[in-house]
Amino acid sequence: MGSHRRPKPASRTRVTVLSATAAAVVALTSQAAQADPKPSKDEVKSKVDKLYDEAEQATEAANGAKEKQGQLEQQISQIQDKVARGQQELNTLRQGLGSMASAQYRSGGIDPSIALFLSSNPDDFLEKVSSLDQLSAHQTDALQKIQGKQRALAQERKEAQDKLKDLADTTKVLSDKKQEVQGKLSDAQKLLNSLTAQEKASLVADDARANRSTERPDLGKDVPASQVGAAALRAAETQLGKPYSYGKTGMASWDCSGLTGYAYAQAGVHLPRTSQEQATMGTRIGRSELKPGDLVLFFDDLHHIALYAGNNMVLHAPRTGTVVRYESMDNMPFQFGVRIG
């Protein structure tokens, strides 16, 4: 039968160490709780608004990359068509020179210079031939046309290769910016999910109150500076209440520059895709000069754009979770206005 021994009591030193360790864990936990408290509803809203703002910045960059992508694709297609036509012309010229060679062969021999052309790199032909005296004027002209066409084709092919590289770079920028937008939106959603049901309901109510500004407020008695501005503002007003969505140009949803671009298109004016590019159109004006229909730029990097509606109000597509609505200019950092037409 095995013996039963009473466990050896822990030494005073061991008890002291364990107690100290437990105390340290408690202290660290307490410090962590104090250092990282649960953010309040207002703090979450502030962080979420910042993330939405950063997402809009990335969206305008993505819009620019997408527009450039489309332009490059069109340019590459045009260059490739030009190369194809040039190659056909070159083939025709070569066939003509071949016919000359065949005729000379049948008549008793082929000119050594043409033989050299037909059997070596045509790009170097004229440099390799020390004298063209033995060629007829017609043959010389044909050879020079071929050489010129080959050089032109080589340049066009290089241009196409350069454009293809630009396209690859632009496509990567577009992909990166889209991922950045999604990352910002995901981070914002995580913050919103950290709120209690009551806090979420409060934020939803706040947004609902703001979105009710789709109703026409007091816009004062200012009149548009031009028929173009008036038509653009009327077109934008038809979109009131439609949701904001990154990268969208209508008709179901809009981002900021998508809305302004659409509005001016209805007035017969084509604007570039991004807010930064739209800022370069027309005449720059100050805040006191704004008239209904003028474009209004916000933030240092001009990543947000709106239409001036009158009485210090703008009509715009603000951000995720909102709709096209009127809003006070005081809610955003004004930079300058732009008058079109």
Give the whole-angstrom CA distance, residue 173 versus residue 128. Answer: 47
Highest-confidence segment of 7-11, 86-90, 136-140, 324-328: 324-328
256 as an active site residue: the answer is: yes
pLDDT on residue 114: 55
Catalytic residue among 4, 256, 270, 303: 256
Question: Is the pLDDT score of 29 beyond 50?
Answer: no
Catalytic residue among 138, 270, 303, 316: 316
How confident is residue 147, by pLDDT bands cut at 50, 70 and 90? confident
Q: Give the DSSP per-residue string, 256-297.
A: HHHHHHHHHHHTT----SSHHHHTTSSEEE-GGG--TT-EEE
CB 55 within 8 A of CB 181: yes
304 as an active site residue: the answer is: yes
3-class DSSP state of 51: helix
Whether the full predicted model's pTM is greater than 0.85, yes or no, is no
316 as an active site residue: the answer is: yes
Min mean pLDDT across 68-82, 108-122, 180-194, 221-235 is at 108-122
How confident is residue 124, by pLDDT bands cut at 50, 70 and 90? low
Provide the CA 83 distance to its chain's centre, in angstroms.
30
327, β-bridge pairs: 314
CB 248 within 8 A of CB 258: yes
CATH 1.10.8 holds for 41-193: no
Helix (H) or strand (E) holding 338: strand 334-339
How confident is residue 91, by pLDDT bands cut at 50, 70 and 90? confident
Give the whole-angstrom CA distance, residue 270 versus residue 277. Answer: 12
Distance of CA 37 to CAs 29, 30, 47, 174, Å?
Answer: 12, 11, 15, 37
| Residues 6 or more apart in contact with residue 218 via CB below 8 angstroms | 311
Q: Which CATH superfamily is domain 220-339 in?
A: endopeptidase domain like (from Nostoc punctiforme) (3.90.1720.10)
Q: For the chain, which residues make up each domain, given as ranges?
A: 41-193, 220-339
Nearest one of 33, 43, 37, 318 to 199, comparing CA atoms:
43
